[in-house]
Every structure is written in structure tokens, then in C-alpha cells.
Amino acid sequence: MEDVIIIGAGACGCSLLYELSRYKVKTLLLEKENDVSVGTTKANSAIVHAGYDPEPGTKMAGYNVYGNALIEQLAADLDIPYKKIGSLVVGFDETDRKSIEKLLEKGNKNGVPGLKILEKEELFLMEPNLSKEAICALYAPSAGIIAPWELALAQAECAVKGGAKIEFNAEVISIEKKKDGFKVKTNKGDFESKFVVNAAGVNSDIVSRMIEPEFFTITPKSGEYFLLDTTEDGIVNTVVFPCPSVLGKGILVSPTVHGNIIVGPDSKISDKDYLGCTAKGLASIREGALRLIPSVNLRASIRNFSGVRADAGLEDFIVGQSKTAPGFFNMAGIKSPGLTSAPAIAKDVAKMLNEAGLEFKPNSNFVSKRKIKRFKHMSDAQKAQAIKENPAYGAIVCRCQTITEGEVIDALNRPIPPVSLDGIKRRCLTGMGRCQGGFCGPKVQSLISQMSKRKQKDIPLDREGMYIIISETKKGDL
């Protein structure tokens, strides 16, 4: 019998897992995919929002501003790539100026630090490549960029080291209320717990309906992106947004923590599990980006991708204990700024669990810090030392990103061992560069195979079923 079962290993679920690992609580996280951060958490704008967008007084406003501050600390403690580069919401006319003034007002009410409106001169000094049509912008110095999948992964790794459990490839089929808790049925067997937390992202409505009457529906909204080569670094210095509209925060142009430029997203209703791009979507992003930064070079694209946002169609997030099923909690409808808010939501839900009777005694095995060796960012002396200590650091696997075999092997030995090429990619960036894994893919696949003692043919690209190779040649079986 567990104390808490969390459903979903995205930013929210993993933040809560980490938060609960501070205490002597038996926590089990159930994830239907084969790794952490396989859903919305890995495919979004990767922005740590400042908090001027949400309506003052909403949970979202509080979580966003608090989450922004928490992430800065978490990034330092858990060695998550993060940069506080600030954001700009750019206005092109007097209507835009009015919305920007409104955002400033909301931001001030929400407690966002350092907000100010920049006029042309100051604005172009900050972003020389910005469209000359721009007239003003809202500057938010507390906004930042992050490796989004690492936020979940880092917290999950620490939690697992501290004693928490994760069951992968475990899809929840039903939840049953028992006398002293819940029985959660999955395709990998039944699990019981006193409390259940629904952090199932785009599927959080389905999970909720397993135990509660229907009260919200997730409308999956897909957003497509371009990721540009590191050669384009410097085209913008901050996260550059247009003025928000009813559709969302609009098409942004921003640096990423890995030195690329991200451009997007659009927004359209899609299927929950559709991860793809359309000619129309990409064209609209191109148009939006060029309006902001006319010189942005979309021919330097190295990848297009899309993510699905879990939009419950409400102004606010759905966070709290179920009205009809006590002991069942929702972290649902977590659309933007969900990534930023996740650590704050987790703290709040932990508090609610405590108030609902979950006992909090300090966990002496709590792991609050993590350090990752990243060869590329070492000084010459550190590089020399790293190879001396482990010769595998002298063998480059991914030439585009300068990732060594040592880093890949380290990743395979981490608390949550990756099982796919993209699992390695999320942990040490192999295949993130301009060749998109064309050169390193087979090598990474063979390293996973050797370390995990599984056949190379069974190592997928990402989720289970995404097989890469089908059989051996010369065995006469094709």
C-alpha cells in the first residue's frame, strides 16, 4: 500500500514526486510511456514565464510568479540548463500599446518583479534585429528559458534516489475507491494507495472521470515549432513575443538554453496523441516570426515539432482535492504557463495532501542536489581531467553537440535509465544538433543495447513501438 500514487510523469507529476520526497512518504508514480517527460513537458516553448499574463487573483497568477522564482533555485540546485534572459512583449500600434499597458498592470498586481515598458530606442538597443515597425514593448526581466524535459527529469531522478518509485509503461485503466484509499488498475497490475493525484496532462480528463463525475474536458491544442541551428544564435537576446490574442501568447522567437533559436507556436485543436506539423501551421509560424524579426532565417531550421497543450477551456488551472472523491487530487488543465507553474503547484498540492492527513516526517535520504557532467561546457583543463578520469570522455559520440561516450554511459547509469534514443537525447543532447542523429543514432542505439542487455533492434526512437530497425541483414528474414 502506497501513501500516494501520482499519475503522469510530466512537469507536474515529477515536481510533486520531488516535493513529496522531502518527507517519509511512500510515493509511486505511474507513467503510461517508457520515460519521464514524454508528453507536453518535452514539446513546448521552453519558457519560464514572468507572470504578467494570468488574470490577477487566479491560482494561475500565483503559481506562475511563485513557480518562476522556484525554478531559478531548482535550476541551480539540480543543474538544469536555465537562463534568466528576460522577455519582451512587442507592440506595433496604439492598440498593442493599450494591451501592453494592461499587461503591465496585471503583472504588477501579480507581483512580477521589475516590469517596465520600453520605448523604441531602448528596445532596439536590446533587440537590434526586431522589426522597425515596433513602437514599444513590455520588458519582464524575470522571464527565462529552460530545458523543459530536464525540469521533470531532474526532479524525478532526485526523488527516485531519495526512495520514490516510478512504474513506466503502466497505463491506468481504472480507479476504485476503497475503504481506506484507492485501487488503481493498470495494464501492469493493480496498485493501492491512500491518496491519488491526477497529473495525466492531456489525459487528465479521462483519469478524473474514472473516479469523479465529469466536470471538465481537455481540448488538446497543438502548437507547432521550428528549431533553428545554433548558427542563428544572437538573432534575439530575449524571449520576444507579439501582443497576446485570444489564441494565446502568440508566435515567439527565443533563444534556447542549448544555443538554438525556437520559433512558434501556432494553436489549433488537435488529437491528444497527434504530434505532427502541417504545411499550413508552419506557414503561419513563418509569417508570425518574420513580422517580429524580419531577418530570422527559417532555412536554418533543423527540426519541426509540435506539442499538445492540455487546455480545459477554463481561465484557471484545476488544482485541488476532488469534491466527490476525497483523497483524489487533480493537477489538471495545465496549459501555459504550466511548465513555470509546476513546481509551485506541486508545493501547493503537497500542502493540501498534508492537510488531508498525509503525514510529513522529514526524509533523511532526501536528495536535494544533482550535478551533471557536460563535456562541451568544461574548460580545457576540466576536459583534460575528465578524460584522464574516464577515457570514455575522450570519445565523441555526437559530433554536432560535442557529446562524449562518457556522458552517454553516465546517462545510462543515472537513477532513471533511458531506454530509447530520445531518452538519451533528453539527458545528454545527442542528436539535438544539425544532423539530427544521422551520424550518432546507430552508436547511441548500440550503447543502450550493450548497457541494458537488450537487443539493438528493440531500442526504440522514443516511445515503445517507435522501432528503428526491423531485422538483421543476411539472415534471410526480410
Which positions lie near another protein, rule CB under 8 A?
226-227, 231, 273-279, 281-282, 299, 301-305, 380, 383-384, 387-388, 391-396, 399-400, 402, 434-439, 441-442, 446, 456-457, 460-476, 478
Least gap, CB of 160 to another protein (angstroms): 27
Q: Which of 306, 107, 103, 272 is nearest to 201 (CA)?
A: 272
Least gap, CB of 465 to another protein (angstroms): 4
Nearer to another protein, 323 or 377 (CB): 377
Q: Which of 215, 450, 204, 233 is nearest to 311 (CA)?
A: 204
Nearer to another protein, 231 or 452 (CB): 231
Nearer to another protein, 58 or 231 (CB): 231
Least gap, CB of 421 to another protein (angstroms): 9
Least gap, CB of 153 to another protein (angstroms): 19
What single string gives the DSSP state of each residue in 160-206?
A: HHTT-EEETT--EEEEEEETTEEEEEETTEEEEEEEEEE--GGGHHH
What is the distance, to the nearest Å, from the Cα of residue 112 to the centroid of all Cα atoms in its chain? 22
The β-bridge relationship of strands 27-30 and 2-7 is: parallel
- Is 321:352 a contact under the CB 8 Å cutoff? yes
Widest CA span of the chain, in angstroms?
71
Least gap, CB of 216 to another protein (angstroms): 25
Angle at 379 between CA 373 and CA 383, to 5 degrees: 60
Nearer to another protein, 217 or 382 (CB): 382
Neighbours of 115 (CB within 10 A): 20
User: Which residues carry out catalysis?
Assistant: 49
Least gap, CB of 353 to another protein (angstroms): 35
Nearer to another protein, 99 or 456 (CB): 456
- Is 375:410 a contact under the CB 8 Å cutoff? no
Residues in a beta bridge with 166: 29
Could you give the CA distance from residue 318 to residue 314 in angstroms, rounded to a whole number?
9
Nearer to another protein, 178 or 388 (CB): 388
Could you give the CA distance from residue 311 to residue 299 in angstroms, rounded to a whole number?
31
